[in-house]
Amino acid sequence: MAHSPDYDTIIVGGGFFGCCLAVHLKQALGRRVVVLEMESELLRRASYVNQARVHNGYHYPRSLLTALRCRVNFPRFVEDYSDCIVKDFDKYYAIGTTFSKVTASQYLRFFERVGSPLGPAPKEVKRLFNADLIEDVFAATEYVFDAVKLAQIMRHRLAEAGVEIRFSTEAQKVHRVEGSLLEVTCAAPDGACTVTAPSVLNCTYSRLNQLLVASGLPKLYLKYELTECAFIEPPDELKHLGITVMCGPFFSIMPFPPLGLHNMTHVRYTPHCEWWDKADGSYRDPYEYCRVARKKSNQICMIKDIARYLPCMSKCRYVDSIWDIKVVLPKSEVDDSRPVLYRSDCGLPNLTCLMGGKIDNIYDIIEHEDASYAQGTA
């Protein structure tokens, strides 16, 4: 009894990475692709609940590779998704004095080496900072993206490419049927259904292990953090600025275009708690935890601490917070690097798990995907 597959590739998760890969596989490689998304829209979780920063490397003064990759990917991303890129603000990076892991001169020298331009900040911007706590301030080139517009772009591109999307469809299990065929069992609005394909891409970010665990497959070793993204109406002085203080227990205030507000995150107060998936032992569904976790905002702590560095921030108005689960690969805890996870054959042949911490990681993933595809067909 020969069973012909429904698709060539099933993509689990309609976040930014899942969508991009779907378009790429369809357009560049002509594969029949379906995207399974549990929400009723694209890009609703990690792609949205995040700083909308398009990294240009400035965030990683202690990892040359990450900083370099960011600088290479930055112009590509800005060009490829220009409709959702917001540039109408000035971006400054400030270096803290006492608790910083880098000094201002190291920071400057590092980005000279990386090739990312840093300029001096104008006097009126420097004056906003408490000179006792901030060593120096630099002007940087960095933009943000509008996640809602990006979702529209992706929806449009998926439609253009003719990729099928199934909304409100949660991929629950994957198992091997005959030969090398994989079958994904889904919960959809109209009941359970199955789809089959020779390969499955798991792009569910914090929920990577959910699919693996439910399918009885070995887990990946990941660390989770419950994170709070706070939204504020900044004081007038900061309306057209984006500010990040490096490199330690500091903070970032960036425009968040979908809401017309600023997004406030703090290294110390944005993560509320953390846990690890151990190779053995119990497993906790991150989405479920995010749903039931007690969400007592740390916004007061954030504002109090930030106002020490930027006194005008005591005038900001807190609006709301959004919460989600962040995933950290154990490696990047040690050194500040942000590697991309690309693991093929996760317990089953052609079941691939991939994950990246930054939106521009997509280029690294696509290059890797092409390479492994070429290897597979060779």
Partner 1 sequence: MMARSDCFVSVTAPLYNDGDIVEAYIEDVLGVLKREYANYELVLVDDGSTDDTVERVTALLEKLECIRLIRLSRRFGQETAVSAGLDTVIGDFVVVMIPDRDPPELIPRIVEQCRKGLGIVFGIRRHRRDEPLFLRIGARAFYWYLNRILKVNLPRNSTDFRVFSRQALNAMIRIKDRLRYLRAFCAYVGYGNESFTYDLAHRREKPRVKGLGEAMRTGARMIVANSTHPLRMVSVLGLTMSFVSLLHIGYVILVYLFDKDVVPGWATRSMHSSVMFLFMFLILSTLCEYVGRLLGEVKDRPLYYVLEERNSTVLLADEDRKNVVTETTED
**Which residues are at the interface with partner 1 (CB under 8 A)?**
98-99, 132, 213, 219, 248-249, 268, 271-275, 280-285, 288-289, 291-294, 300-301, 304-305, 308
Q: Which is nearer to partner 1, 334 or 378 (CB)?
A: 334
314 contact partners, CB below 8 Å, separation of at least 6: 303, 307
Cα 376 from Cα 378, distance rounded (Å): 6
Region of residue 364 (left: phi > 0; alpha: psi -120 to 50; beta: else): alpha
Q: What separation in angstroms does the CA of 351 have from each of 42, 161, 175, 189, 345?
A: 22, 23, 9, 25, 5
Residue 288 burial (CB count, 10 A): 12
Are 121 and 139 in contact by the 8 Å Cβ rule? The answer is yes
Q: Which is nearer to partner 1, 275 or 318 (CB)?
A: 275
- Please state the closest distance from residue 97 (CB atom) to partner 1, in A: 9
Q: Which is nearer to partner 1, 282 or 375 (CB)?
A: 282
C-alpha 239: how far from its chain's center?
25
- Please state the closest distance from residue 117 (CB atom) to partner 1, in A: 30
Q: Which is nearer to partner 1, 133 or 161 (CB)?
A: 133
Are 269 and 301 in contact by the 8 Å Cβ rule? The answer is yes
- Please state the closest distance from residue 328 (CB atom) to partner 1, in A: 13
- Please state the closest distance from residue 366 (CB atom) to partner 1, in A: 32
Q: Which is nearer to partner 1, 152 or 185 (CB)?
A: 185
- Please state the closest distance from residue 130 (CB atom) to partner 1, in A: 9
Q: Which is nearer to partner 1, 51 or 299 (CB)?
A: 299
- Please state the closest distance from residue 223 (CB atom) to partner 1, in A: 11
152: its two tokens: 């529209």
Cα 211 from Cα 282, distance rounded (Å): 15
Cα 151 from Cα 40, distance rounded (Å): 12
